[in-house]
Amino acid sequence: MTAPSPSARRRGGRAARQELRTRPLGKDSRPVRRGMDSGNYRPLTEPDTRKIHQAVLKLLETLGFSNAPPSCIEAITAAGGTLGDDGRLRLPAALIEDTVAKTNRDFLLCGQKPEHDMSPHGKRVYFGTGGAAIKIVDPITGSFRDSTVRDLFDMARMVDGLEHIHYFQRPVVARDMANAHDLDFNTCYASVSGTAKHVGTSFVNPAHLTETLEMLHVIAGGEKQWRQRPFVSQSNCFVVPPMTFEANACAILETAARGGMPVLLLSAGQAGATAPAALAGAVVQAMAEVLMGLVYINAVVPGAPCMIGPWPFVSDLRTGSMSGGSGEQALLMAAAGQMGQFYNLPTSVASAMTDAKIPDAQSGAEKGYNHALVANAGTNLIQESAGMHASLLAFCFESLVIDNDTIGAVQRSIRGIEVDDDTLSLDVIAEVCNNGPGHYLGHSQTIERMESDYVYPLVGDRTSPDEWTEKGSMNVIERAGVVM
């Protein structure tokens, strides 16, 4: 009996591809994975980064911060900082560089399940939600309503099942809470109840954080277990740009550090408003502010797990309003992420904060180019990355699903193209050309790589116009609603 020809063996490729797609992939076989190395886009040259670094040192050494609370002054002056007659707290360059060198780079941002753990170090990049939106937008009607604690829980549940969103930072403020205590406690509770992924949240009072820590100890099985695997981190705006401490946030920072909770040290100046309009100056101020925070937290608890969050926002200088979807925003966040790489510090930036009010063409464009640039610049944690609209004022559930697709595609660009003897495919090309059938659709390489090399959208449509019409002519918002 004659053996089947290579071309005969390749027939039935469609059935083989369909069968392959039903098999679960191991995490190392997927086309994109959490924590892939990034850093191929560099908006700053190496001399640029050094100039910014020197400007940061000079700013902290000569200008420093105002409004430092007593506990902050005590900790930083004991570490080597100085308090001037003008009341400003300054840092010598040696203290800054020594703190950067000694910063903890060996901690995890844990999930409640170990498979969700993140290691925000080196060039590894993860995507998460985030924000403090006060409205939920209905993309069909264009109407807005106040966000609630139930919304938070539902968002967390959705993130738990979305592959390309790796952690859950609270995206909205629960407007139905009666007071600040209920807001702080229930925001955290709703978040950790909805997802086993790592959770980030914020607090407005240190006493609320202390009470919440007690709840987290119970969930973890005890304080010891919590400290071994803290699955909630705290985003802390300890600075009011430009270069001013916020006393209440400082107290919360100290409480979190002593309680074993990782802290994200946030600076959120707005270029042209609370930061220089010159983009380089906005980066300098943001880096100076977060490095002050780094010295501060390490003076309070040496080696405390923390991330820097230089988030230089953008103003539309015609109006003074924030423009989170602008091209300048992409540049600034990418540059901030690159500076985080310069210091080799765990770093968070924000991306995909579209100015659009609903998931429309403007939204897709702004989120796409922001993610493409920011994610490839090498930062570790990308927040605000899904669901946000109106420059962080509103959240859209459908966008959470749509943005998951965008993130998956951008992650594929982070992975890049592997070039080796196998992927160069010389033997495959020769086989198809010499032995037929003149295409690669059923070739074993195509079958093997269709899941390991290619990302497929959850709600993005790739059908023909006829197929799309036959299936009801649904747009992406409608398809996202079905997935929800």
What residue ranges do the domains of the chain occupy? Answer: 101-415
Let me know: does 107 contact 114? Beta carbons within 8 Å.
Answer: no
Let me know: does 60 contact 292? Beta carbons within 8 Å.
Answer: yes
CA distance 9 to 4: 6
CA distance 308 to 291: 8
Write the CATH number of the domain with boundaries 101-415: 3.20.20.480
pLDDT at residue 26 in the model: 62
pLDDT at residue 231 in the model: 99
pLDDT at residue 29 in the model: 76
Take residue 305 and report the two structure tokens written for it. 């797990």
Let me know: does 371 contact 413? Beta carbons within 8 Å.
Answer: no
CA distance 375 to 369: 10
CA nearest 39: which of 345, 418, 420, 415?
415
pLDDT, averaged in runs of 10, over the chain (484 residues): 39 52 63 95 98 99 99 99 99 99 98 98 98 97 97 99 98 98 99 99 99 99 99 99 99 99 99 98 99 99 99 97 98 99 99 98 98 97 98 98 98 97 98 94 95 96 98 97 93
Let me know: does 133 contact 397? Beta carbons within 8 Å.
Answer: no
Amino acid at 348: S
CA nearest 200: which of 272, 265, 115?
265
Let me know: does 208 contact 239? Beta carbons within 8 Å.
Answer: no
pLDDT at residue 71 in the model: 98
